[in-house]
Structure 1
Amino acid sequence: MTELLDDRPTLTTPSPLDDARGQLADAIAVLELGQGMFDLLAAPRRELTVSIPLRRDDGTVEILTGHRVQHNYSRGPAKGGLRYSPHVDLNEVRALAMWMTWKCALLDVPYGGAKGGIAIDPRLYSQAELERVTRRYTSEIMPLIGPSHDIPAPDIGTDEQTMAWMMDTYSVNTGHTVLGVVTGKPISLGGSHGRASATSRGVVHVALQALDYLKIRREGASAAVQGFGKVGRGATRFLWEAGLRIEAVGDQYGAIRADNGIDVAALEAHVDATGTVVGFAGADPIDAAHLLELDVDLLVPAAIEGVLHAGNAAQVRARLIVEGANGPTTTEADGILNARGVTVVPDILANAGGVIVSYFEWVQANQAYWWTEDQVEARLSERMIGAWQHVVNHATARGLTLRAAATSLAVQRVAEAHRQRGLYP
C-alpha cells in the first residue's frame, strides 16, 4: 500500500478543489473561452456517494463512505484511480477527477477524468476486511463503471490486489470475465508489463528533461524525494540510476538525509525489512517538513496534495520541483515559487506515466494481445518526452508558467471536444 504521509497546511488554506478551479479559471482566461465554458468544465458530469457496510473480523459492523466522480467524458471513457485514505472527502475526489481530465487531454489519451475514494485508513484493517470493503464498493458503483464507461486504477492506499478484487466482482456480476474494467491489475490477470513503475518512470523522464532545460548537469545533481510508496520509491531508484545524488527521502513516519548521497539499493532493503525509511543506518534523521526546504537541485513531492503551501513556499530552496503527487503545490505556493524563479513541472504532466500505461493496458486487454516491457517503456518514454516538449514550446511562445501552459493546452482540447459534440437538448 502507498504511504499516507500527511503534511497538510492549516484549514485556512484553500482546498484542492479551490486550487483545481482556480487553475481552470486561469486557463479559461488565457484561452478567452468565457464564463459559460468555465461553468461547464468546472462542474462534474456525474457523482455517486455510497454507504459501505463492513462486517469486521470481530463481528462488529462499521459503515464507511465512498465516492466516485466522473468529471468529464467528452473525449472518451472516464479514467481515474481509487484512493483509500482517512482524508478522502467528496471535494478532494472532485478535484482529483478534474486534474485527471486535464492529464488525459494533455497526453492525448482518449479518456476523460474520474476519481474514486473511500474514507478509510487501510493500515487499520485486515486483508480480509479490505477485500470485503472493495467488493461492496465495487458492487455499489457498478452502474457507473465498465471498460467503455469508467475504468478505475490504483491510487494511494490501493494496489494491484485491490484491482483484482474489483475486476472479479464486476466480472461475477456481469457473468463473464471483463479484463478491461480496471487497470493496474496483476500481470496474471491481464495487467501490463511496466504498469507498476509507470508513474515513477514518467516522473523521471520529465525530471531529466527539465534538468537539461535548466542546464543542470544530471550526473551528481542533488535530489530530495518526499514519499516512498508506489511513486516515490520508484522515482528515487530511477533518479539514482540516472546518476543523481539522492540526499533526502521521507515517508509518513519521518525523513532521512545524507549529504554525500543515500545508497538507494540499501535503503530499499531496509524499507522491505522495517516498513519505513526511519532508522536507515546510511543516513541521519531529519524533520519531515524540513525535507521540502533542503538546498537541492531537484525536489520531488510524491505523497499527497497541498504539501507546498503559503506557509513554506518561501523556504523552498530547490531550483526545480517535479510533482510526483497530485496537487502537491497550492495556488499561493505556485505564485511564491514562480516569483522566486523556481521551476515547477505540474502534476498533470509529470505524473502522467501511470495513465499512459493504464491506457496501454486497456488497449491490450481489449485486443487480448500483450506487449513486452521494452515496448511499453519505449512508448511511455516517447509520450512523456513529446508532451514535455509540447508544454515547454507553448510556455515559451505564450510567456506562461509550465502549469499554465499544460493546463491551457489540456483545457483547449476538452473544450474543443465539447464544441464538436454540441449540447444535447
Structure 2
Amino acid sequence: MANSVVLTEEQPHFFHDVTEFFNRAAQFTNHDVGLLNQIKACNSVYRFQFPIKRDNGELEVIDAWRVQHSHHKSPTKGGIRYSEMVNEDEVMALAALMSYKCAIVNVPFGGAKGGIKVNTRDYSVRELENITRRYTVELIKKNFIGPAVDVPAPDYGTGEREMSWIADTYLTMNPGQLDALGCVTGKPLSLHGIAGRRGATGRGVAIAIRECVSVAEDMQRLGLTPGIEGKRVIIQGLGNVGYFSAKVLVEFGAIIVGICEYDGAIYNEDGFDPDEVVKHRNETGSILKFAKSKTEFGSPAEGLEQPCDILVPAALENQITEANVGRIQAKIIAEGANGPTTPAAADAFVDGGRRMIIPDMFCNAGGVTVSYFEWLKNLSHIAFGRMDRRYTETANMNIVNMVEGVTGASLTDEQRKIIVKGASEEELVNSGLEDTMIRSYHEIREVYVSNDKIPGLRTAALVGAINKIAESYKNMGIWP
C-alpha cells in the first residue's frame, strides 16, 4: 500500500468544494446532523498499486483507486478515469457527485468512481490493456465490481475499448454468472452495449440547455429571449461530451460561435459546424488554423471569455475560478464537465440571479441515465424494442389502411413510412433520456422557486438529492 496522497495548497481541493456545495444545500433541509454526515461521507475508499511490464521490459508500478461514496442504493455506479492528474481527492469528489447525480435524475444507483494515474499517450495499446485487465482483477479480488455491487463506466481517458477489456476480464473470472455483462456499462454494441450511449452525456447537456432557456420567466430575468434558436454557444473541450453537446445544440438551432481545446481556441460569430472542426483536427492534430475561424487564441482560457449567451465547459474540473470568472461574458454556464466551476466563482457568476449555472450533477447526467438503460438491458438479456417494434408497425399500418379506407385519402410512401415506423433501440433510449432530463430539470426548478433563499439551481438540485438519499436511508431503518 502506497502512502496517502497529500494535497498541497496549490492543488485544488475538489472534494472540499463538493462538500462545501453540500453544506450550503443541507441548511435548506430538516435532517439531523448524523444523517447529513452519513450522506456526504465516502463509505469506501480503495487505493492500491500494481506492477505492469512495459513493452521495453521495464516494470512500472501503477497507482489506482476505486471509491464507493454511498451505499443507500445498490449497485454503486461511476466511471473510471485515466489521467496523470488523478488523485484520491478527485476520485472521492467525483464519486460524491455521482451519488447526487443519480438521485437528481432518479436513477437507482449509489455513487462511485475509479481512477488510474496514467497518461494514455505514454502507453501502447497492449500496455493499456494490461493495465485495465489488472485493475479489474484487483477490483474483483476485493469485491469492488459486479452487476449487483459496483458497475464502472467510461470517463476521461477511457471508452468502449476499455469497457470491453473490463467485461471480458470479469467474465473470465466469473464463469457461468448469468448477469456478468452487467458488471460494466459503456460497452460496444457487439458486447451488448446500448445504442445511443456514446453520445448520451452530450445529448443530455443539450437537452438540459434547451429546457432551461425555454422558461420565459427565467430568460426575461437574464435579458435573453426564450428558446434555443439562435443562442450563441462556446464549447470548451471537443471530446466526446463537447462534440455531442455541440452537434445536438446545432440540431436544436443554436450557433456554436467558439470552441476551446487544450492548445488554443477558435471563434466566429457566424458559427461552426462541429463535424467540420473535428475533421480538421483529425487531419492536422489541432483545431487551430481552421479555415472558417475568424479569430484564434493561443490560450484556451481566453476562448472562454469571448461574447456568447451560453458557455459549456466540457473538459476537466476547476476551469472557471475567481481569477477568470469576472471576464466570462456568458449569461448561462452549462456544466458539461464535473466540477468546472469553483464555489467562489459560482457565487460571483450567479450574482444575485442575473446569471445562471446549470449544475454538473444534473447537466451531465445523460451518461449515467443511459448507462442505467444499458444495465437494465444486460439484466433482462434483450434489446429494447425487439419484442414490440414489428407489432407496433403492423398496428400502425392497420390504422393507416383503415383511415385511408374511410376518408379516401392516400398517403405517399414517405408519409406512410414515417407514420408506420416502430421505434428502434436508439430512438427509445433517446426518448427515455429526454424525458429524464426534462422531468429532472423541472423538479430542480420547482425546489428553486419554492424558496427564495435558495441561491441557485445547484443548491436546489442538491436539496432534492439530499432529501431523496435521506429517504432511502430512513426506509432502510437506519434513521427513524
> Is the pair's TM-score, using the shorter chain for normalization, greater than 0.5?
yes
Q: Deviations over 1:178-224 (max 9, x none)?
A: 21000000000010000000000000001111122223442221110
- Number of aligned residue pairs: give it: 415
Q: Is the Cα contact below 8 Å between 1:28 and 1:34 reproduced in 2?
A: no
Looking at structure 1, the residues matched to 443 and 322 of structure 2 have their Cα atoms a distance apart, in angstroms, of 30
Residue matched to 2:272: 262
Residue matched to 1:363: 376
- Where 1:148 maps in the other structure, the secondary structure is coil
Give the deviation of 1:12 after TM superposition.
4.6
Residue matched to 1:144: 144
Give the deviation of 1:243 after TM superposition.
1.6
Name which of 375, 379, 382 aligns with 2:435.
382
Residue matched to 1:415: 470
Runs of 4+ in 1 over 3 A off after TM superposition: 10-14
Looking at structure 1, the residues matched to 284 and 212 of structure 2 have their Cα atoms a distance apart, in angstroms, of 34
Give the deviation of 1:26 after TM superposition.
1.4
Residue matched to 1:108: 106
- Map 1:203-214 → 2, pairs under 5 A: 203-213=205-215, 214=219
Greater alpha carbon shift after TM alignment, 274-283 vs 190-199: 274-283
Q: Is the Cα contact below 8 Å between 1:224 and 1:247 reproduced in 2?
A: yes
- Where 2:214 maps in the other structure, the secondary structure is helix
Looking at structure 2, the residues matched to 116 and 56 of structure 1 have their Cα atoms a distance apart, in angstroms, of 22
Greater alpha carbon shift after TM alignment, 268-277 vs 141-150: 268-277
- Where 1:31 maps in the other structure, the secondary structure is coil
Looking at structure 2, the residues matched to 421 and 323 of structure 1 have their Cα atoms a distance apart, in angstroms, of 33
Give the deviation of 1:174 after TM superposition.
0.9
Greater alpha carbon shift after TM alignment, 35-44 vs 164-173: 35-44
Give the deviation of 1:75 after TM superposition.
2.2
- Where 1:223 maps in the other structure, the secondary structure is strand
Residue matched to 1:395: 448
Does residue 187 (structure 1) correspond to residue 189 (structure 2)? The answer is yes
Q: Is the Cα contact below 8 Å between 2:260 and 2:304 reproduced in 1?
A: no
Residue matched to 2:92: 94
Return the letter of the residue paired with 1:315: R
- Map 1:334-349 → 2, pairs under 5 A: 334-339=346-351, 341-349=354-362
Residue matched to 2:53: 55
Return the letter of the residue paired with 2:231: A
Give the deviation of 1:14 after TM superposition.
4.8
TM-score (norm 1): 0.95
Judged with a 3 Å threshold, the aligned counterparts in structure 2 of structure 1 residues 11 and 261 are, in CA distance, closer, same or farther, namely farther
Looking at structure 2, the residues matched to 245 and 304 of structure 1 have their Cα atoms a distance apart, in angstroms, of 23
Q: Is the Cα contact below 8 Å between 1:263 and 1:282 reproduced in 2?
A: no
**How big is the alpha-carbon RMSD for the aligned residues of Structure 1 and Structure 2?**
1.5
Looking at structure 1, the residues matched to 125 and 226 of structure 2 have their Cα atoms a distance apart, in angstroms, of 45
Looking at structure 1, the residues matched to 322 and 473 of structure 2 have their Cα atoms a distance apart, in angstroms, of 35
Looking at structure 1, the residues matched to 249 and 138 of structure 2 have their Cα atoms a distance apart, in angstroms, of 41
Give the deviation of 1:176 after TM superposition.
3.6
- Where 1:146 maps in the other structure, the secondary structure is coil
Residue matched to 1:288: 300
Q: Deviations over 1:239-258 (max 9, x none)?
A: 12222111111122221111
TM-score (norm 2): 0.84
Judged with a 3 Å threshold, the aligned counterparts in structure 2 of structure 1 residues 253 and 132 are, in CA distance, closer, same or farther, namely same
Q: Is the Cα contact below 8 Å between 1:228 and 1:249 reproduced in 2?
A: yes
Q: Is the Cα contact below 8 Å between 2:12 and 2:318 reproduced in 1?
A: no
Greater alpha carbon shift after TM alignment, 240-249 vs 322-331: 240-249
Higher RCO, Cα 8 Å, sep 6+: 1
- Where 1:231 maps in the other structure, the secondary structure is helix
Residue matched to 1:318: 330
Return the letter of the residue paired with 2:476: R
Give the deviation of 1:11 after TM superposition.
4.8
Q: Deviations over 1:275-299 (max 9, x none)?
A: 4322322213212101221220010
Residue matched to 2:64: 66
Residue matched to 2:419: none
Looking at structure 2, the residues matched to 370 and 250 of structure 1 have their Cα atoms a distance apart, in angstroms, of 37
Residue matched to 1:126: 124
Give the deviation of 1:59 after TM superposition.
0.7
Residue matched to 2:167: 167
Residue matched to 1:200: 202
Q: Is the Cα contact below 8 Å between 1:97 and 1:115 reproduced in 2?
A: yes
Structure 1 unaligned segments of length 5 or more: list them.
Answer: 1-9
- Where 1:64 maps in the other structure, the secondary structure is strand
Q: Is the Cα contact below 8 Å between 2:18 and 2:96 reproduced in 1?
A: yes
- Map 1:230-241 → 2, pairs under 5 A: 230-241=240-251
What is the percentage of aligned positions where both structures have the same residue? 37
